[in-house]
Amino acid sequence: MNLLYYGDNLDVMRRHIKDETVDLVYLDPPFNSNTNYNVLFAEKDGSNAASQIQAFSDTWTWNQESESVFAEIVMTGGKVSDCLQAFRTFLGECDLLAYLVMMAPRLLELRRVMKPTASIYLHCDPTASHYLKMLMDAVFGAENFVNEIVWKRSDAKGDAGQGAKHYGRVNDSLLMFSKRCGDNFFSPQFTPLTSDYIDKWYRHTDPDGRRYKLDNMLGPGGAAKGNPYYEVMGVSRHWRYSKAKMDELIRVGRVVQTRPGTVPMFKRYLDESKGVPLTSNWTDIRPIHGWAAEKLGYPTQKPQILLERIIEASSSPGGVVLDPFCGCGTTIAAAQALNRPWIGIDITHLAITLIKQRMKDSFGVEQSVRATSSGKGETAKVAETATEYGNVTKRSFHVLGEPTSEPDAAALAASDPYQFQWWALGLVGARPIEQKKGADKGIDGQIIFQGDKKGTFESVILSVKAGKTGSAHIRDLKGVLDREKAAIGILISMEHPTKPMLTEAVTAGFYESATWGQKYPKIQLLTVAELLAGKKVEMPPIKQVSVTFKTAPKETKKKSEQHELDV
C-alpha cells in the first residue's frame, strides 16, 4: 500500500519507517530562498499568503529548538558532530546554520531507512549546496558520494536585461550518494541522438536501408590495460574484444575494413542505438512554464520527467521510493507512473489535499478507507509487499497522521488553527482563500463549478469554525454570500448546529441548477463528525470542469522500455 503521511518527517521516520526498507530517496528540502517554499497559493497581487508564511517562517531560523538539536548531535560525537561544530565556527548562529542543524538528524534517519543498495538524491541550489555536500559526506561517508548532477532549470534571460552584474543563475544541484559504495542499484539512462549527430556520423547505409556508423575497436590503454594483441584482416593491434568474439563479429558482418591496410572498424547500426549516455550535466529537461499542463501553482514544483529519470536510473520496478518533503507530490506521481510503491511525507494539510487531488486527476485513484492515525507497521508493509505488486499505477493509498475522529480534529484545532482549517477544507475538496490586508473576513475556502451557461462558473464559499457557533455566524455567511454573489455557502464546524442556526440557514433558500434540474440549499451546515462519516456538500457535480485546484493531467505515458545493445 502506498502511504502519504501528514507530519514532521523526522518524527514520521523515527516512528513508522523500519531500518533498510527504502530503495530510493529524493528530497527537495525547503530553504529560505524568497521565503516562499511550501507556499502553495499566493495572493492575486503576487504577495505570499500570510497564514502559510506563518506556518513556515520558523522552520529554518536559529532559535531554542535549533540550539537543542545542535547540542544533542554534538554530544553524540562523530563526523556529523565535527561538521556542525565547524559550520557554527564559520557561519555563526544564523538561518543557514539552523537549516543545516535541522537537516542533520533527517539525513541520519534517511540513511537508516535506506537499503544497502539504495541511493539518495538531495535537490538544492548553489545557496547551500556546498555546505550540504559536506554534511552528506559526514552522514554517508565521502567515499559514498556518487555524483553532483547539475540541472539547468531556467535560462535567466531577464537578468542581463536588468543590468545584473553576474552570470545567469540557471542551475540547481542534485547531490547523489549511495548507502554503500559500489552496491547501489543503477540503470544507465540515455538521451536521444540529435539529427545533426546522426547526419554527421551515421553516413553509411546497407543495401536494405539500415544506417550505420563505424566505431573504433582498439583496446583503450593497450597492453597496460590487458587488451589482447592479435591480427585482424592483416592489421595487428591491441583490441577491446577477445579473438573469439572478434571472429564472431566478422562472421556476422559487423567488422568493416574500408580498404586494405586500414584498421578494421565496428559496424554500429542506428536502430540499435539507445542514444547518448546521460552525464551529470542535465540540460535537456525544461522547467515548468506558466502555461504547462502539469503546473499546479506550487512555487518550487519540479517537472515530473525529472523525477522519472531519477527513479528509472536508481530503482527497479517494485522498489520503494521515499520523498520526505513531498510538497505537491511530483515524486509520488512519478513513482506511481513507473510502477514503484511510494512513501510521501509533508508537514501541511494543504499539500496533502493537493496530492490527493493530483492522484485522482492523473491516475483515477483515491485514498483507501481511512487508516488509523498511528499507522504503525504500514511502512514496513510497503517494503515487504512491493515485489507482489502488479500495476501500482492503479493502487490506492493510505493517508496517515490526519484526524480520524472528533477528538483528533479538536486536538489539531487547538494546536494549529491554520492546519485545522486546511484539513477541514480538504475534506470537501476546497481551496483555501487568503484575505487581503484590510478586507472583510468570512471566506476561508472556495469550490468552483461550471455554471448553467457555457464558459461561466459559480462558486461555493466556505467558513470554518473550530469554536462555538451561533445564529450570528449564519447571518454573517448569508451576508458574505450576497456580497460575493456566490451560489452556495458552507459552514464547517466542530459543534452541532442549534435549532435557531438551522432555521436561519433555511431562510436563505435554494440555488437552482437548470443543467442538473436540481435545487441545492444556499446555506449548508456541516459538522466535522458528519464529514468524517462521509457526508458531502450538496452542489452540482464538478467532475467535468473544476478550477478549484489546478487539474493535473491524466497519466497516459507507458513505462519506458530499454533495448539491449549487441556490443
State the pLDDT at residue 526.
96
DSSP result, 412-465: HHHH-HHHHHHHHHHHTTPEE-PPPTT------EEEEEE-SSTT-EEEEEEEEE
> Which pLDDT band holds residue 544 (cuts at 50, 70, 90)?
very low
552 in a domain, yes or no?
no
Domain that holds residue 159: 2-186+278-400
Same domain, 143 and 285: yes
Among 231, 249, 272, the domain boundary falls at: 272
- pLDDT of 62 above 80: yes
Same domain, 456 and 510: yes
Nearest to 477 by CA among 500, 454, 506, 443: 443
* Count of domains observed in the chain: 3
Same domain, 44 and 149: yes
User: What does pTM read for this prediction?
Assistant: 0.78
List residues bridging with 255 in a β-sheet: 266
Work out the percent of the chain whose per-residue pLDDT is above 70: 81
Among 225, 253, 272, the domain boundary falls at: 272
283 in a domain, yes or no?
yes
Same domain, 39 and 154: yes
Same domain, 491 and 346: no
- pLDDT of 23 above 50: yes
State the pLDDT at residue 548.
46
Give Cβ neighbours of residue 42 (< 8 Å, ≥ 6 apart): 36, 48, 49, 299
| 434 touches 452 (CB < 8 A) | no
Task: Give me the CATH number covering residue 443.
Answer: 3.40.1350.10
338 in a domain, yes or no?
yes
Q: What is the C-alpha to C-alpha distance for residues 174 and 126, in angstroms, rounded to an integer?
A: 10
Q: What is the C-alpha to C-alpha distance for residues 213 and 567, in angstroms, rounded to an integer?
A: 14
Same domain, 84 and 229: no
State the pLDDT at residue 291.
52
Same domain, 27 and 176: yes
Average pLDDT over residues 422-445: 74
Work out the percent of the chain whose per-residue pLDDT is above 90: 59
Same domain, 207 and 180: no
> Which pLDDT band holds residue 317 (cuts at 50, 70, 90)?
very high
- pLDDT of 133 above 60: yes
Kindly report, residue by residue over 333-356, the tens digit of the pLDDT.
999 999 999 999 998 888 888 898
Alpha carbon distance, N-terminus to C-terminus of the chain: 40
Q: What is the C-alpha to C-alpha distance for residues 435 and 43, in angstroms, rounded to an integer?
A: 8
Same domain, 222 and 283: no
Task: Give me the CATH number covering residue 30.
Answer: 3.40.50.150
Among 400, 416, 442, the domain boundary falls at: 400
Average pLDDT over residues 397-405: 87
262 in a domain, yes or no?
yes
State the pLDDT at residue 250.
96
- pLDDT of 169 above 90: no
Cell of 466: 473550530
What letter would DSSP give residue 313? H
* Pairwise pLDDT comparison (552 vs 58), residue with the higher score: 552
Cell of 543: 467532475
